[in-house]
Amino acid sequence: MTKQILKAHKVRLYPNEGQQIFFAKSFGCTRFIWNKMLSDKIDHYNEHKTELKNTPAQYKKEFEWLKEVDSLALANVQQNLRAAYNKFFKGSGFPRFKKKGIKDSYTTNNQKGTVAITDSTVKLPKIGHIKARLPSKINGLIKSATISRTPSGKYYVSLLVETIVEPLLKTHSRIGIDLGLTDFIVLSDGSKVANPTFLSKLQHKLAREQKILAKRRAVAKANQRKLSDSRNYQKQKIKVAKVYERITNCRKDFLHKLSFNLIKNHDVIAIEDLNVKGMVKNKKLAKAISDSSWSTFTTMLNYKAEWYGKKLVKIDRWYPSSKTCSGCGHLLTKAELPLQVRSWNCPSCQQKHDRDINASINILNEGLRLVTIKTVGATGLA
């Protein structure tokens, strides 16, 4: 059965000077309207104890320059603020004010071709065609476009496109995945996928550039100069942002390829349901990147399994996948298997285990057990 999904395509934009000014205005206006509507809501609540129902349109008289930007961008701010309030009512944090230069972006919608693409441009409401580097195939109806500027000064548009996907062929293969300590993942078939070496190289580069940035901050401070006036500091700040963006892009690319291959080659994929696991070697930075990689990776597996007709099973985070012998089920105590022990012999059945491969086999078995329970349960009801 084919499926209709919304797929996001991130496209690099090359706006000319005038277009850059338009984008800067749009980021500014959407940020302004968010902050203004939010502060008015807060004031109104403090006075009347009810929520103010305000709209961007009612501010256009007082702040005429709001008319210069895409009105749909402002309408989307209202919706996002609505969503932030709904989240707050459900227990999340209170909506925050937006700061300049942090996640500069705005979203517009396609209304009968107001957003469109050619071979080398993206057309946007109120501004027209922007030079762009488009991937080979974007097919289907464009629903919306989110324009953003990175801290290093690059422009992107994320196009949300209605796309038809066909399920992938069944392979009758099943796999368990464990988040490795030294490798990125370890699979129940005995294979290991290392963290890509270019990532660790870039991480070292990032650490180096950050050190230089800290030095420049100290120099500016010693000379009693504002950071915004220190050219050397600002130049270095952009350098750091660039390395950081490269890491993010390379990492995403790696995770996309890896998750797609797993979904393509296996029908059932079992993983542990965790965001953060114990310890990762190296420094804090490596750990943060590894942790966030794991959560991005599981998110990708989740929606790709859904798209392509495969099954992803998540195992309870307290399931003792490392400490159980996958051969005979013998359970070790925590003291018997400290983190630094990479391989062990089962005291019960004498089988020799690689710590991570053993864990991934247990994850697969537990995953298959859960799938069977669900299937039998469903059949029993019918």
| Neighbour-count burial for 220-256, b at 16+ CB within 10 Å, e otherwise | beeeeeeeeebeebeebbebbbbbbebbeeebeebbe
Query: Is 373 among the residues that bind Zn ion (CB under 5 A)?
Result: no
Run of H or E including 193? strand 192-193
Terminal CA-CA length for the chain: 23
Closer residue to Zn ion (CB): 213 or 325? 325
Q: Residues touching Zn ion: how many (CB under 5 A)?
A: 7
Q: Decide if 272 is catalytic.
A: yes
Query: Is 130 among the residues that bind Zn ion (CB under 5 A)?
Result: no
Closer residue to Zn ion (CB): 335 or 381? 335
**C-alpha closest to that of 274 among 363, 153, 156:** 363
Q: How far is the CB of 318 from Zn ion (least distance, A)?
A: 21
Query: Is 7 among the residues that bind Zn ion (CB under 5 A)?
Result: no
Rounded to whole angstroms, the Cα distance separating 115 from 352 reads: 60
Closer residue to Zn ion (CB): 28 or 327? 327
Q: Could you tell me the CA-to-CA distances from 115 to 112, 120, 143, 185, 346 in Å, in that order?
A: 8, 14, 8, 40, 62
The active-site residue, picked from 272, 306, 336, 366, is: 272
Q: Which residue stretch of 146-154, 198-206, 231-239, 320-328 sits at the interface with Zn ion (rule: CB under 5 A)?
A: 320-328
Q: How far is the CB of 370 from Zn ion (least distance, A)?
A: 22
Q: How far is the CB of 349 from Zn ion (least distance, A)?
A: 3
The residue to which tokens 């942790």 are assigned:
291
Residue 48 in tokens: 């009347």
Query: Taking the CB of residue 369, how many other CB atoms lie within 10 A of it?
Result: 13
| Neighbour-count burial for 80-107, b at 16+ CB within 10 Å, e otherwise | ebeebbeeeeeeeeebeebeeeeebbbb
The active-site residue, picked from 104, 209, 356, 366, is: 356
Q: From the list 325, 357, 359, 361, which residue makes contact with Zn ion (rule: CB under 5 A)?
A: 325
Q: From the list 164, 207, 328, 376, which residue makes contact with Zn ion (rule: CB under 5 A)?
A: 328
Site string for Zn ion, 339-358 (x = CB under 5 A): -------x-xx---------
Closer residue to Zn ion (CB): 288 or 349? 349
Judge residue 318's burial from the number of C-beta atoms within 10 Å of its C-beta, 0-12 exposed, 13-18 middle, 19 or more buried.
exposed
Q: How far is the CB of 81 from Zn ion (least distance, A)?
A: 57
Query: Is 331 among the residues that bind Zn ion (CB under 5 A)?
Result: no
Query: Is 330 among the residues that bind Zn ion (CB under 5 A)?
Result: yes
The active-site residue, picked from 104, 178, 209, 366, is: 178
Q: Could you tell me the CA-to-CA distances from 323 to 33, 124, 183, 315, 369 in Å, in that order?
A: 54, 56, 19, 15, 18
Q: How far is the CB of 271 from Zn ion (least distance, A)?
A: 23
The catalytic residues are: 178, 272, 356
Q: Under the rule (CB under 5 A), what is the footprint of Zn ion? A: 325, 327-328, 330, 346, 348-349
